[in-house]
Amino acid sequence: MVKSIMVQGTASDAGKSIIVAGLCRILKQDGFAVVPFKSQNMALNSFITKKGYEMGRAQVVQAEAAGVDPDVRMNPVLLKPTSDRKSQVVFMGEVLSDMDAVEYHEFKQELLPKIKEVYEELGSENDVIVLEGAGSPAEINLNSHDIVNMGMAKLVDAPVILVADIDKGGVFASIYGTIELMPKEDRARIKGVIINKFRGDVALLQSGIDMIEELTDVPVLGVVPYADLAIDSEDSVALVQKSRRFDVKKDLDVAIVGLKRMSNFTDFHSLEIQPDVSVRYVMPGDAIGLPDLLILPGSKNTIEDMLYLRESGLEKEILHCLEKGVQIFGICGGYQLLGKKISDPLHVESDRDEISGLGIIGATTRFNAVKRTTQVQAEHQGQVLAGYEIHMGETTLDEGVTPFSTITVQNGENTRRTDGAVAHGGQVQGTYLHGVFDNLEWTRAYLNMIREQKGLAPIAEQVVTLEEFKDREYDKLADLLRNALDMKSIYQIINQER
């Protein structure tokens, strides 16, 4: 039998993903072969595995914490919203189709046999699987067709820990309400509760803990303090907590346009950890101003986001930045927005046939039916950059436009093709490479170039590698959870001794 433990939450953003990552790290430290698993993830942050399959970033973070390579089996279903009503359904790393909520609700039961199969494969290869739920298990209108919360727990007979976010308030009501809304069979699966994101003296919480344990007959396994860890967040819920202001204590102001369908904002985590960089997100109603670097991020619906830029007035602000000499960088959909035209004759992303872009780069993008999902290496100004591509658009450069890089390796095989573009004497750059800023040596050189333009001295590149930095943060997370949680009880739950 596969040993497992499942982390569910009283609501979205309760901290399920980070608790799973921390438990994976602890189990790894304790000598176990452990992997994460989430049967269904809804997020616009995704990653491409070494084999070219697409999966959710949350399970990538958890895999890193577990010390293993990301494997698409860890996240067999990925839903990527394309509009308010439809999502692109990615199954085992490949696109199935776009579906609305009703279509998918009826269809998803067909995926369960394969989900169980890949789960059991992972179980046969590892000691423990740490599962993550989605949203809340008390969504009583959806539970009859659930495949990610109690439906998944029942499918694989996994014990459950419930995580509740105290930072938002109403933590005891959310714990009690969630448990009480469950059928008796599901309630029996909950073996413990974790109260997450606490600020203050735990002693003041004890009377409430005693009462909620008596009311629910479920033990509280610990109270996790609020912590500021440099670990990737799962999805756009985390953007609410991102800064919208320039930190005047930092030298460089980096503004990222918060597109309506923004994807892969994890591309900018490596900028957020730079000592001289203040990263802010330009959300609806905000002004771009004149930052040192303006970034247009990825988008799941580039045409819709071009309309947003136009209708919100941000298009004029971006063009004003260009006129004033601001460095501009576009990634994937952001790169497409910088071009002259975006066409969608097959209506892959939109009902529109085409739309004019910002016109900053001499390039035209056409959407195709086939998505490119590749891990790549690219040559750029004498350096080798690693990254990954996730896009359905193909971009053609006007004659005389210089590419950003040359792709030399694609999913482990040698190739040679151009990527991206450079315009306006290097002031504007665009690329399809997600993760480009994770190449810290190149990133430091790029930031130092901007510093010199401001009359500031360059600073030394980061001494530790990105992998070393991440490892340090995962170890901090493990220490935090070890100190906050009753790990003896958690191991008993994993071993189904309680």
List, by residue number, the catalytic residues: 332, 434
Three-class secondary structure of residue 393 per DSSP: strand
45 Cβ contact list (under 8 Å, min separation 6)? 56, 57, 58, 232, 234, 235, 263, 264, 265, 266
Question: In angstroms, rounded to a whole number, what is the distance separating the alpha carbons of residues 289 and 291?
Answer: 6
For residue 56, give every residue at least 6 positions away whose Cβ sits within 8 Å of its Cβ, in sequence order, or none.
38, 41, 43, 45, 46, 47, 75, 78, 234
In terms of Cα–Cα distance, which of 295, 292, 296 is closest to 252?
A: 292
- The CA distance from 101 to 203, in Å, is 44
* Cβ neighbours of 396 (radius 10 Å): 12
Rounded distance between C-alpha atoms, residue 232 and residue 229, angstroms: 9
Number of Cβ within a 10 Å radius of residue 312: 16
Burial (CB count <10 Å: 0-12, 13-18, 19+), residue 362: middle
Cα-Cα-Cα-Cα dihedral of 305, 308, 313, 319, to 10°?
Answer: 10
d(CA 122, CA 232): 24
Both tokens assigned to 121: 């494969």
Contact criterion met (CB below 8 Å) for 338 and 309? no
Residues 6+ apart with CB under 8 A from 411: 50, 51, 52, 374, 375, 376
Hey, what are 148's tokens? Answer: 């990610």
Q: How far is CA 485 from the centre of its chain?
A: 26
Strand partners, 294: 255, 328
Scanning 190-284, the segments in alpha helix (DSSP H) are: 206-216, 269-272
Separation of alpha carbons 414 and 160, rounded Å: 45
